[in-house]
Structure 1
């Protein structure tokens, strides 16, 4: 073995624990997304009406603590207009979902900070990697702020959180997840990978479309639009419902009208399926899915699974298990696209 190869192997062995750490963080974020989705679907997100970054880690320990939490919840519109008369046991059910979501966020913060300090002490991290990890740290911390910003929108005049803030919160979580995938895939030394000219931009465009679809899905979830028009492929008796884009200005319907939001989400799914089919065909024709292009098979499978999950989630009126699987698979699909892009361009 040459001295250069020996140094490369030693470098990779040094970074192996860092890669495992980052993959674990990505898994934790997926779990966080699932718990957040369950919190939303069980209408639990407004059960804790204060943001206490430190003391909030400790749940109610006595009957007096529980009564205080319930009394605080009784002051907001959701209780007064929807859940009036809710018992303490019913309140505990929604409280634990929201508390678990927030607690998991704190766990992720510790899961980032503690290994980071250890790896610094072990000198496994270099200055080339430091900017990327700093950005990940900022994105993670910002998620906590966005979470409370979202919750606060439903504590005064609304009975739920703003769909705009929900979409922002989910999008930021996805960007954090994808940033981790990008960084960790770039920490493996491989020989340069050739791809045909223009291929990488096409995959970037495809990833952008899937990300827009994720945001569109967040608006569907934020307005509970999936609880309406539970048929497929027809919607309100036709492929194109008559009552879309009827407001002034029309573009606002994409974000505030249930019918339009669901129609957009369906239509974008068809566009993504067609784009994916074209990419898969070109990848097979030009590469036979050799090497890094095997990612296209993973991406194709995830697109099919995601579309099926979307259809069944709709026609079965958004059952918790299917809805969560649909949300998590969207993250996995985007993660596979970013991993593919990262593997096509290695610099570390």
Structure 2
């Protein structure tokens, strides 16, 4: 896949800003893009075999095929899946598969006739109608995928890294259907995974944790290019603890509820430590332990992970002060 260029983009709260390539990172991404599906090329397969000893049987033709990401790009050497179908549906209504190959360029032995040839590169693909003549020269078949790809990642705040096990992406089509929804292209895409798609615009949704930290961005896939997109989450990881005194041990068997500033419950759990990712904003932590209720208001700031202590006693000197001072009510 010589000739693939690397485009690097930064997605900030749904906006994309062009930036320079990341040096060694770009080279690594290029290498991965080229070798992600480095399966060995299969030997050429016969679609049909002429009947031995039958002089009237038609001879199969050698058909060579190659695929390119762009019309002026080099032939791709790895990562391709080739499928050749008969145009006549079978009893099940599907087009019969007569030959296949994995790897780079492909060579097939095909009897004269018509076929459909499909080549796929990840989620990108193209299909071409092929006519194999009984006589005359058979030119090499070149299929242009018009495809590229992107690698997704995200940060919290300006540049705080996010653990990969707490981050996932979904890719949707850019068009909105009549029902107001977008078509799902891929779900549960992990960070730093190369996604290969036909050129076009895609709507990407990033989820940090499993509560309310969600950001969206439209990302352009350009033919022959690998784009690196980094989305920015305005969220942080919070750990709630019920304690008898500041800095004390967390009290076990505590039931937790977290409410937004408008009173909506966004999380409920039972544990000594309740850890969650929350979008930036105002919240109230409610702790229940042995038929008593304690609570504390707190603020989540983008990229600032912290522990929130809820005291089991009320300190009148701290009344009315929040975020690190007034921590409880009994």
Interval of TM-score (by shorter of Structure 1 and Structure 2): under 0.3
Look at both structures and tell me which one has the larger radius of gyration over its CA atoms: 2
Q: Which protein has the bigger strand share? A: 2
Q: Please identify which structure carries the higher helix content.
A: 1
Normalised to the residue count of structure 1, the TM-score between the two structures is: 0.21
